[in-house]
Structure 1
Amino acid sequence: MRTSRRIASVLTGLTLALGGAAFAAPAAHADVTACINQVEREVKGGEAPDSVRMACYVGLTGDHARCLTGLVDSGVTNGTAVTACRVAAD
Protein backbone atom coordinates (compact mmCIF):
# COMPACT_ATOMS: atom_id res chain seq x y z
CA MET A 1 0.00 0.00 0.00
CA ARG A 2 1.35 3.39 -0.90
CA THR A 3 2.09 5.90 1.82
CA SER A 4 -0.47 8.40 0.57
CA ARG A 5 -3.24 5.77 0.65
CA ARG A 6 -2.18 4.66 4.10
CA ILE A 7 -2.34 8.24 5.39
CA ALA A 8 -5.74 8.72 3.75
CA SER A 9 -7.01 5.53 5.41
CA VAL A 10 -5.77 6.61 8.82
CA LEU A 11 -7.32 10.05 8.44
CA THR A 12 -10.63 8.56 7.32
CA GLY A 13 -10.67 6.22 10.31
CA LEU A 14 -9.86 9.08 12.66
CA THR A 15 -12.61 11.23 11.18
CA LEU A 16 -15.16 8.46 11.61
CA ALA A 17 -14.06 7.77 15.18
CA LEU A 18 -14.18 11.42 16.20
CA GLY A 19 -17.45 11.95 14.37
CA GLY A 20 -19.01 9.10 16.33
CA ALA A 21 -17.86 10.66 19.59
CA ALA A 22 -19.38 13.97 18.56
CA PHE A 23 -22.73 12.30 17.88
CA ALA A 24 -22.69 10.53 21.24
CA ALA A 25 -21.74 13.57 23.33
CA PRO A 26 -24.78 15.79 22.70
CA ALA A 27 -27.17 13.12 23.98
CA ALA A 28 -25.87 13.42 27.53
CA HIS A 29 -25.67 17.19 27.28
CA ALA A 30 -29.26 17.44 26.08
CA ASP A 31 -30.55 15.95 29.34
CA VAL A 32 -28.75 18.59 31.41
CA THR A 33 -29.97 21.27 29.02
CA ALA A 34 -33.57 20.06 29.34
CA CYS A 35 -33.27 20.23 33.13
CA ILE A 36 -31.85 23.76 33.00
CA ASN A 37 -34.53 24.84 30.52
CA GLN A 38 -37.23 23.52 32.84
CA VAL A 39 -35.88 25.71 35.65
CA GLU A 40 -35.43 28.73 33.38
CA ARG A 41 -39.09 28.51 32.35
CA GLU A 42 -39.98 29.07 36.00
CA VAL A 43 -37.60 32.03 36.16
CA LYS A 44 -39.41 33.34 33.06
CA GLY A 45 -36.50 34.02 30.76
CA GLY A 46 -33.80 34.49 33.37
CA GLU A 47 -30.61 32.52 33.15
CA ALA A 48 -30.15 29.69 35.62
CA PRO A 49 -27.28 30.18 38.08
CA ASP A 50 -24.33 27.80 38.27
CA SER A 51 -25.86 26.06 41.30
CA VAL A 52 -28.81 25.01 39.12
CA ARG A 53 -26.48 23.78 36.40
CA MET A 54 -24.56 21.69 38.93
CA ALA A 55 -27.76 20.24 40.42
CA CYS A 56 -28.95 19.30 36.93
CA TYR A 57 -25.63 17.58 36.25
CA VAL A 58 -25.98 15.65 39.51
CA GLY A 59 -29.45 14.62 38.34
CA LEU A 60 -27.92 13.35 35.12
CA THR A 61 -25.66 11.03 37.13
CA GLY A 62 -28.76 9.49 38.70
CA ASP A 63 -28.64 11.04 42.18
CA HIS A 64 -32.24 12.25 42.23
CA ALA A 65 -32.23 13.26 45.91
CA ARG A 66 -29.16 15.51 45.58
CA CYS A 67 -30.56 17.01 42.39
CA LEU A 68 -33.79 17.93 44.21
CA THR A 69 -31.93 19.32 47.21
CA GLY A 70 -29.61 21.36 45.00
CA LEU A 71 -32.45 22.89 43.00
CA VAL A 72 -34.63 23.66 46.02
CA ASP A 73 -31.62 25.21 47.80
CA SER A 74 -31.16 27.38 44.68
CA GLY A 75 -34.67 28.76 45.08
CA VAL A 76 -36.52 26.53 42.61
CA THR A 77 -40.01 25.45 43.65
CA ASN A 78 -40.41 21.81 44.63
CA GLY A 79 -42.69 20.97 41.69
CA THR A 80 -40.28 22.39 39.14
CA ALA A 81 -37.34 20.69 40.86
CA VAL A 82 -39.06 17.29 40.67
CA THR A 83 -39.82 17.75 36.97
CA ALA A 84 -36.34 19.09 36.13
CA CYS A 85 -34.55 16.26 37.95
CA ARG A 86 -36.77 13.69 36.25
CA VAL A 87 -35.90 15.20 32.85
CA ALA A 88 -32.18 15.19 33.71
CA ALA A 89 -32.24 11.49 34.51
CA ASP A 90 -34.07 10.50 31.29
Structure 2
Amino acid sequence: MRASTRIASVLTGLTLAVGGVAFTAPAAGAAPADVTACINQVERELHGGEATDSVRMACYVGLTGDQQHCVTGLTAGGVTNGTAVTACRVAPE
Protein backbone atom coordinates (compact mmCIF):
# COMPACT_ATOMS: atom_id res chain seq x y z
CA MET A 1 0.00 0.00 0.00
CA ARG A 2 1.37 3.40 -0.94
CA ALA A 3 2.05 5.93 1.79
CA SER A 4 -0.39 8.47 0.34
CA THR A 5 -3.19 5.88 0.32
CA ARG A 6 -2.39 4.84 3.88
CA ILE A 7 -2.40 8.47 5.09
CA ALA A 8 -5.71 9.14 3.35
CA SER A 9 -7.21 6.05 4.98
CA VAL A 10 -6.02 7.09 8.43
CA LEU A 11 -7.36 10.63 7.99
CA THR A 12 -10.71 9.32 6.79
CA GLY A 13 -10.92 7.00 9.80
CA LEU A 14 -10.10 9.82 12.20
CA THR A 15 -12.66 12.09 10.59
CA LEU A 16 -15.36 9.45 10.94
CA ALA A 17 -14.38 8.72 14.54
CA VAL A 18 -14.43 12.38 15.57
CA GLY A 19 -17.69 12.96 13.70
CA GLY A 20 -19.25 9.98 15.45
CA VAL A 21 -18.23 11.29 18.86
CA ALA A 22 -19.63 14.72 18.07
CA PHE A 23 -22.87 13.16 16.83
CA THR A 24 -23.41 11.04 19.97
CA ALA A 25 -22.20 13.60 22.51
CA PRO A 26 -25.52 15.49 22.88
CA ALA A 27 -27.39 12.25 23.59
CA ALA A 28 -24.83 11.23 26.18
CA GLY A 29 -24.99 14.66 27.75
CA ALA A 30 -28.76 14.43 28.26
CA ALA A 31 -28.68 11.22 30.31
CA PRO A 32 -26.81 12.42 33.41
CA ALA A 33 -29.27 15.26 33.96
CA ASP A 34 -32.15 12.78 34.12
CA VAL A 35 -30.26 10.45 36.44
CA THR A 36 -29.31 13.48 38.52
CA ALA A 37 -32.97 14.42 38.98
CA CYS A 38 -33.67 10.96 40.37
CA ILE A 39 -30.60 11.02 42.62
CA ASN A 40 -31.45 14.53 43.88
CA GLN A 41 -34.94 13.35 44.80
CA VAL A 42 -33.45 10.56 46.91
CA GLU A 43 -30.84 12.86 48.47
CA ARG A 44 -33.62 15.26 49.56
CA GLU A 45 -35.02 12.38 51.61
CA LEU A 46 -31.57 11.72 53.01
CA HIS A 47 -31.43 15.41 54.00
CA GLY A 48 -28.22 16.14 52.16
CA GLY A 49 -26.70 12.68 52.48
CA GLU A 50 -24.79 11.25 49.56
CA ALA A 51 -26.59 8.69 47.37
CA THR A 52 -25.00 5.26 47.38
CA ASP A 53 -23.88 3.39 44.28
CA SER A 54 -26.97 1.19 44.50
CA VAL A 55 -29.17 4.31 44.41
CA ARG A 56 -27.28 5.63 41.39
CA MET A 57 -27.67 2.29 39.60
CA ALA A 58 -31.39 2.12 40.39
CA CYS A 59 -31.83 5.65 39.03
CA TYR A 60 -30.01 4.64 35.86
CA VAL A 61 -32.41 1.69 35.51
CA GLY A 62 -35.26 4.20 35.89
CA LEU A 63 -33.75 6.24 33.09
CA THR A 64 -34.22 3.26 30.78
CA GLY A 65 -37.94 3.29 31.60
CA ASP A 66 -38.00 0.21 33.86
CA GLN A 67 -39.90 1.86 36.69
CA GLN A 68 -40.58 -1.32 38.68
CA HIS A 69 -36.92 -2.32 38.89
CA CYS A 70 -35.97 1.26 39.70
CA VAL A 71 -38.40 1.36 42.64
CA THR A 72 -37.32 -2.09 43.80
CA GLY A 73 -33.65 -1.08 43.66
CA LEU A 74 -34.22 2.14 45.57
CA THR A 75 -36.34 0.55 48.30
CA ALA A 76 -33.74 -2.21 48.68
CA GLY A 77 -31.23 0.60 49.23
CA GLY A 78 -33.26 2.00 52.13
CA VAL A 79 -35.32 4.64 50.30
CA THR A 80 -38.98 4.93 51.29
CA ASN A 81 -41.48 3.68 48.72
CA GLY A 82 -43.01 7.13 48.15
CA THR A 83 -39.65 8.73 47.42
CA ALA A 84 -38.62 5.79 45.24
CA VAL A 85 -41.77 6.10 43.11
CA THR A 86 -41.29 9.87 42.73
CA ALA A 87 -37.57 9.56 41.95
CA CYS A 88 -38.12 6.83 39.38
CA ARG A 89 -40.88 8.86 37.76
CA VAL A 90 -38.55 11.83 37.14
CA ALA A 91 -35.65 9.68 35.85
CA PRO A 92 -36.85 9.21 32.25
CA GLU A 93 -38.05 12.83 31.82
| TM-score, with structure 1 as normaliser | 0.77
Instruction: Report how many residues are paired.
Output: 89
In the alignment, does 2:46 pair up with 1:55? no
Select 2:34's aligned residue among 31, 34, 37.
31
Q: Per-residue deviation at 1:89? A: 2.0
Identity of aligned residues (%): 69
Matches within 5 A, 1:68-79: 68-79=71-82
- The residue aligned with 1:89 is 92
Per-residue CA deviations over 1:39-88 (Å, capped at 9, x if unaligned) read 01111111100110111111111111111111111111111101100011
| TM-score, with structure 2 as normaliser | 0.75
Aligned equivalents of 1:71, 1:14: Cα separation in 2:
37
Task: Provide the aligned C-alpha RMSD in A.
Answer: 2.3
Aligned equivalents of 2:21, 2:75: Cα separation in 1:
38
Aligned equivalents of 2:66, 2:18: Cα separation in 1:
35
SS in 2 for 1:89: coil
